[in-house]
Amino acid sequence: MAAGMAHAGNLCGRLFKNTDTNRWTALGICAVYSIFSVNILFHKYFPSLKISNGREIQKNITKLTHSHDLIAVQNPENYIYTRKQYRNNLINIYNNNRLNGFNLVAPKNYDLFKYAPGQGREVFQIIKKLWGQITFKTFNLGEENTMILMTGPSSIPLIPDNFEESTQWEILNGKGTISKSKPGNTYDQLVLKLETSPENEMLVMRTIPNTVKVSKPSMVVLIWTVKMNYKELINQPALLVKLTSPKDQYMQVAMGRINSGMNVYLGDTFRTSSNWFLRSAIGIVPPGNHSFSILLKCNKNQTILYDEFRVFLIELADKK
């Protein structure tokens, strides 16, 4: 559009010697072009993106979910109708350290085993290996969409209240600095600060105390807050699980960050804005006696701040 305005101005300059005529003619051409463009934008392009039963989706999700349910949305076209409920619930889960269920909003007849949030990992494929057949309860959200309830109504929070005092972060690989910082706009006085030099990167780990017995295939949910530079690549936190039965072995849980197109900020109000991102990721773990660790990677010449973490285990729920 800017190039078109410049071209129109140059053309009018050659055709009209009078400066005022030149200016007003160019402005007139630009005005007509702008009106035509806006008309196409609002009457053709935006309506083509509209979901016919969007308000119905919004109403049904509000009615069918609880305040501490985590909601994942498969189709980005539905973000506009689900963002408010997802945001409010995620903040509730984080603040109260409580998770009541996991729901996936998807088109009807959608194969949930193809769900690949975040980096394109099909995080539910492992369910087929752990469970021969499983049927999840579904709710109708309208003509085209459904909501799949994948878990039971209660979860186990794995992060204890004294987590910050009971264990310490340790460097697994690389070189850098681990410290505590006191920035503004956080619920805690101290937050985790990771720093590296231009020559080094760093991988740090922290073990979550206690071993957990998992009786059925379960979903693990990781929620965290991070303060970051928009121009930098920030690695997603990872979960490492130590399988203690039948023999000790370590496995990195295949995690996917849900709703990556819906940014949620911690501490946002009508008058103030926060640059602390509140994010969530999910994965599936097999039955057994497990202990978990959180892995964080800091790239070269980078400074990252993390506030509190939340980790939940919640059993998958077969409708049968």
- Domain boundaries, given as residue ranges, for the chain: 2-47, 54-149, 157-315
**Structure-model confidence comparison of residues 189 and 307, the more confident one:** 307
d(CA 105, CA 138): 10
pLDDT at 54: 76
pLDDT at 55: 82
For 193-235, the pLDDT digits (tens) are 999 999 999 999 999 988 899 999 999 999 999 987 777 788 8
Residues above pLDDT 70, as percent of the chain: 76
Residue in the structure block whose two tokens are 């603040």: 95
Residues 6+ away with beta carbon under 8 Å from 32: none
Residue in the structure block whose two tokens are 């998770």: 99
CATH class of 157-315: mainly beta
Contact 313, 155 (CB under 8 A): yes
Residues 6+ away with beta carbon under 8 Å from 68: 89, 92, 93, 96, 98, 99, 100, 101
Q: Average pLDDT for residues 145-160, to the nearest whole number?
A: 93
CA 133: distance to chain centroid?
29
5 pLDDT higher than 90: no
Q: Which of 85-99, 233-247, 262-276 has the lowest mean pLDDT?
A: 262-276
Q: Average pLDDT for residues 23-33, to the nearest whole number?
A: 66
What's the distance, Cα to Cα, between the start and end of the chain in Å? 58
Contact 215, 230 (CB under 8 A): no
pLDDT at 210: 85
Q: Average pLDDT for residues 38-66, to the nearest whole number?
A: 69
pTM over 0.85: no
Best mean pLDDT range from 43-57, 142-156, 173-187 = 142-156
163 pLDDT higher than 90: no
**Structure-model confidence comparison of residues 170 and 162, the more confident one:** 170
**Structure-model confidence comparison of residues 259 and 189, the more confident one:** 259
Residue in the structure block whose two tokens are 């889960």: 93
Contact 63, 241 (CB under 8 A): no
d(CA 33, CA 1): 9
Q: Which of 116-125, 153-162, 271-280 has the lowest mean pLDDT?
A: 271-280
Q: Average pLDDT for residues 122-137, to the nearest whole number?
A: 83
187 pLDDT higher than 90: no
